[in-house]
Structure formats: C-alpha cells, structure tokens
Amino acid sequence: MTHRRTALTRGIAAAVGTALVASLTACGAGGSARTENGVTELRYQGWTNQVTPAELAQDLGFFDGKVKLDWVGNTISGPQDIQSAATGQTDFGGAFAGAVAKLASAGAPITAVINYYGADDKTFTGYYVKDDSPIRSVKDLIGKKIGVNTLGGQNEADIHDVLKKAGATADQIKSVQLVALPPPNTEDALRKGQIEVAALGDQFRQRAVAAGGIRPVFTEPEAFGNFNGGEYVLRKDFIKKNPDAVRAFTTGVARAIEWLRTTPRDQVIERATKIIQARHRPNETTSTLKYWQSVGIPSKYGKISDEDFTRWQSWLQDTGAISGPLNPSSLYTNEYNSLATGKQGS
C-alpha cells in the first residue's frame, strides 16, 4: 500500500509548459495502447517496498481481464511520475492533487480519473523532530531544515499552509529549507541530525514512531482533517482512444480501494507481502508492511471532487503556479469510475 507525497520541483512550473508541449509534439504523446487478445497493456512506475492500489487491483483480478500492468521501473517523485505519463513514457501516473493542478495549468494534456491516496486518522504524514529538539510550535519551523520526499509537493504545501495559517509572512515561509530525501532514508537523516524536521508518512512514520525518540510538531489530520491527497492521471488522447481500458483500470482501482477499506488489516498485510515477494524486484523488503493501518482515502470508490484541488489553491497562487482562481472541473473526471457513477456493468 502506498501513500505518496509528490509534486513538481520548485520553480519548474514556469518553464515546464513550453518544454512539455514541445516534448509531447516530438513524441506524439503515444495515445495508442498496446492491445492483444482484448487486453490493453498499461505502462507504469511503481514504488519500492510498497504496493500501489493499481498493483493490488491487478493481483485481485479487479481489471476483469481487460487491462494488464507493465512495470517499467520505480519512482520516488509524483511529479516525475505524472510527467512520464504526460509525455507518453508511461500510460498512467499518480501525484499530489496540487502537482496535478500545477502540471495541467502549465499545459500538460492530462486528466485525473481517481483518487489513490489520502489522509485519515490512521494514515497520514506527520512532521517530526527529535524529543530534545527546541522546535515546539509550527512557527518554530521558520528557517529550519526539513526533510521531504520531493520539492514542491504535498509536504511543501502542508508546510506552506500551516505556516500561513499561523501568521507567518511570505518571506518567513520561503526561509524554510526543504531537503529532498528518499522516504526510506528520512528517519535516519533526522536521527543523525542532517535535518531538523522530518516529513514521515505511512509505514515509514509508523516505523519511526515505534522506534521512539521523536515527536510530532504537527500532523495532517490536526491541520487539515481527513482529505483525498492525490490522483491517478492519464493523457487526454489516451483516454479518448482507449475508453474501455481506462474504465476497466479506473473501476478496478476503485474496487481495490474498497477492498482495502473493508478487509481485515492482517489480510491486507499478508496480501501485500505476497505481492512484493512474488514480483522479485531488486532491493525490495517487506519489513515496513506490518505498519500499514488504513486505505487513507476518505471518499468512497476514490471519487474526485472540486475540493480535492481547491484546498491547495492558496499554495498554488502563492508559489506562482496559477495567477487566478483554480478551475477544478477542468482537471478531472469521474466518468470512467463506474462504481463512483453507479454505472457498474453498463
């Protein structure tokens, strides 16, 4: 299971529009999928030591034999993941909703089709310091070095929004030093003093808390309540040319989300363990799976709403990703999520 915290590298949005459009033109965007015997192959990137909702859906047979996933490698960055989808290197990718909005606003022809991670009272990201740290309040984060999984993403948006809510100025918010680190290494960097604060999510947070010696400055549920965090996206031309495959994929992921929501925790962990062990990817371990707690997605079937994007409007505006109000309805569709629309089997 995965709870990905991802978005664009700081400052990339200003330049990505022209470069991305040029790249799409050069490669033709790859709207046609490889289909054999009625099965459409979808290329994607995975996450080390984690099982994504799409991978779980395939293992459970929820694609009904209409879609097959083709793993092309791993990523630690949602921005890279959705840019690969936008440029035709892969067929779908997932990222933080703010990153999706930023990339689409820069001209990328992508559409979000389903939420695939979120935050609830069991599954979330917290911002942790060592027990003896002088950092106590949100405002104490000003000027500090914080380890995040990627620049310009969910972690940055979280930090921006809590500091702004606490009354910090734009300059004070900019003074925070964000250090991009692979999620499996962030806890170690905190304990060694290489960073002063660590953004820790999901299994990595649970593992760090279990080891002791750290405490949260704030957590996402405390700051924002429960929320849908990020979406799977596909290119618009791909959706147009492969609507049945997109529907099978999206609805299969929706089924996997509800399976995670309703299946006993020990069975979820057992299934994920078997998936990782069977795929034989290099340098993977199942050791953190025991810390899995919940699906983390508040909306049933992963259904997307305007609020999933507008909650990050202030961050998008303050960082220059958008100049006016966000138009969330242009960023997503629930049309291919048959469970969310009630059109299952139609």
Per residue in 161-217, pLDDT (tens digit) is: 999 999 999 999 999 999 999 888 999 999 999 999 999 998 889 899 999 999 999
Tally of CB atoms within 10 A around 225 = 12
pTM above 0.85, yes or no: yes
Task: Give the pLDDT score at 84.
Answer: 95
Residue with tokens 């290494």: 185
Residue corresponding to tokens 């965090």: 229
Taking CA atoms, 168 is separated from 125, 142, 224, 344, 345, in Å, by 21, 8, 17, 48, 51
Query: What per-residue confidence (pLDDT) applies to 202?
Result: 83
| 279-314: b (≥16 Cβ within 10 Å) or e | eeeeebeeebbebbbbbbbbbebbbbeeebbbbbbe
pLDDT tens digit string along 215-247? 999 999 999 999 999 999 999 999 999 999 999
pLDDT reported for residue 140: 98
- For the chain, residues with pLDDT lower than 70 are 1-32, 344-346
- The whole-number pLDDT of residue 228 equals 97
User: Closest Cα partner for 59 from 203, 336, 252?
Assistant: 252
- How many CB atoms sit inside 10 A of residue 95's CB? 36
Domains and CATH numbers, the chain: 12-120+227-341 (3.40.190.10), 125-224 (3.40.190.10)
- How confident is the model at residue 132, as a pLDDT? 97
Structure tokens at 302: 């992963």
Q: DSSP string covering 316-334, please?
A: HHHTTS-SS---GGGTB--
SS3 215: strand
